[in-house]
A and B are shown apart, each in its own frame.
Chain A
């Protein structure tokens, strides 16, 4: 049972190496920008999978973690002159703490009631942040070029942020994998199947749900801090965009909820599809329409997503792809 003999370990490390190496060696900036967005998508989808796929709670407002992380990160780096990495970590800790607090309230709700509450929380936070003058209100905050100086100027800073995001992407996948094989993960699966039965079997649902909700916010918050640092500006409507929330769900469905690779593969495919559609002269106008049709077809006919479908065809691969 050595860790080194687990295919998943090498899958994740391989993905990280490809993401870092492909643009890294050639210095291909366009490729880097494309993969940067894909990596962000993988981070969002695989952490959302902890809630939807593992625990069975549909968090429609998951983007609130990303947005709040961005705000805390930008605030600490620009207003308080913090270095990027500590700022991102503290942002993530703050967001996870807030999530724990939110979770204690809304995780008493089940099914669609919970989903509505997550939408409400995202909108409440968006509205609140739009009123915080210290954070620039509805116009947001702009970063001055000087914040990139400690990282060796803007050009080098973009590369550094990129590699950090790849690191978080890897961390997200490892987190999903470890939880999946842990006792904690088993408790989550039991809650997903039947929360009351799980409780009768000894799982503490309230505790488990609060912890996973909080954990599922940590890495997206870090990613948000890095994303908006690189972006140079953060605004409420961009940071708390429900469309991004729902796109993360679409990615999860596309790849297959509940598995480590499903979230990643779905995010990758969706992001490739989106950029292909956006750059095509014929379809750029109809990107949403095509994505919508795709989602409907998946929900109706392949609810297990790509990985679920593969697992049914070739049961042996199921173990490898987890």
Chain B
């Protein structure tokens, strides 16, 4: 019994990181109704960013998250200008494809430079062993960082002018423009913020598991699942969705083979999408 609870706690820790990754995706969806298919590529870039900053430059991976966030933000602005701005008002296929195209470029270049071999962060954090079960230090730290970043984002969105402007644009772009909010610039910032969050989440994941250039796509799929659990476009929901996903993963692992977890995840994903397209926590009617 204790093993199950311990596994669920560990699942929750990972879930916080999944949640952080998904916040980036859902923020962009909420503000501009675009599914950002560069998400996975940016998670991968975040992983390599932290890797090179720690393995080559030296220092703690947690400190490296800061420059990774800044670089992610800059990359986000560039991606927005290059591939998103022009297709925002066009049918969904266009933004799916333009972001997917950038994804191809990033993954292609990444594969050419770093091949698809496995990388590992050379560092370790002492864990806590209790009743024969070890809570990995890296997991606890990653969850803590994820929660802090999510909290900071919440404060930013609630209490700063920029955050409020983003929320206004997300609510109703035309109305926001009438109130004098420059929606073009806000959209760019929101997109860059979403991308930076993906990169940070990638950097955190790199502290947990070995990774390759291609790892991002798996976490992108997980982000989809989390996003749908929490409601597309709802950042707070994404964190809850992440925790929920982690809990499910942790809860079932002691009972069934690991290979069944993705089956459960994706079946759940499709079913929830069909039954509650606005997410599990949406107030009022689902459609």
Contacts and interface: CB of A to CB of B under 8 A. Distances in A.
Direct A–B contact present (CB less than 8 angstroms): yes
Nearest to B109: A289
A124 B97 contact: no
Interface in B9-48: 29, 33-35
- Most chain B CB within 10 A, of A124, A246, A285, is at A124
B87 interface: yes
B228 A292 contact: no
Interface string A13-47: 00000000000000000000000000000000000
B282 interface: no
A292 B259 contact: no
A303 interface: yes
B105 interface: yes
Contact of B273 (A109, A137, A246): A109
B274 interface: yes
A113 interface: yes
A135 to B, nearest CB: 13
B127 interface: no
A60 interface: yes
Given A117-B273, A120-B266, A299-B101, A130 B108 contact: no
Given A112-B96, A299-B101, A288 B111 contact: yes
Contacts of B263: 124, 127-128, 131
A130 B263 CA distance: 9
A97 interface: no
Interface string A271-291: 000000000000001111111
A interface: dominant SS: helix
B102 A292 contact: yes
Given A112-B35, A113-B277, A286-B109, A296 B82 contact: yes
B270 A124 contact: yes
Contacts of A202: none
Given A60-B96, A299-B94, A288 B262 contact: no
Interface in A288-318: 288-293, 295-296, 299-300, 303
Given A105-B274, A112-B33, A286-B112, A123 B262 contact: yes
A292 B41 CA distance: 13
Contact of B35 (A115, A128, A287, A299): A115
A132 B54 CA distance: 42
Interface of A: 52, 56, 58, 60, 105-106, 108-109, 111-113, 115-117, 119-121, 123-124, 126-128, 130-131, 137-138, 242, 246, 249-250, 253, 285-293, 295-296, 299-300, 303
Interface of B: 29, 33-35, 82-83, 86-87, 90-94, 96-98, 100-105, 107-109, 111-112, 217, 221, 224-225, 228, 232, 257, 259-260, 262-263, 265-267, 269-270, 273-274, 277
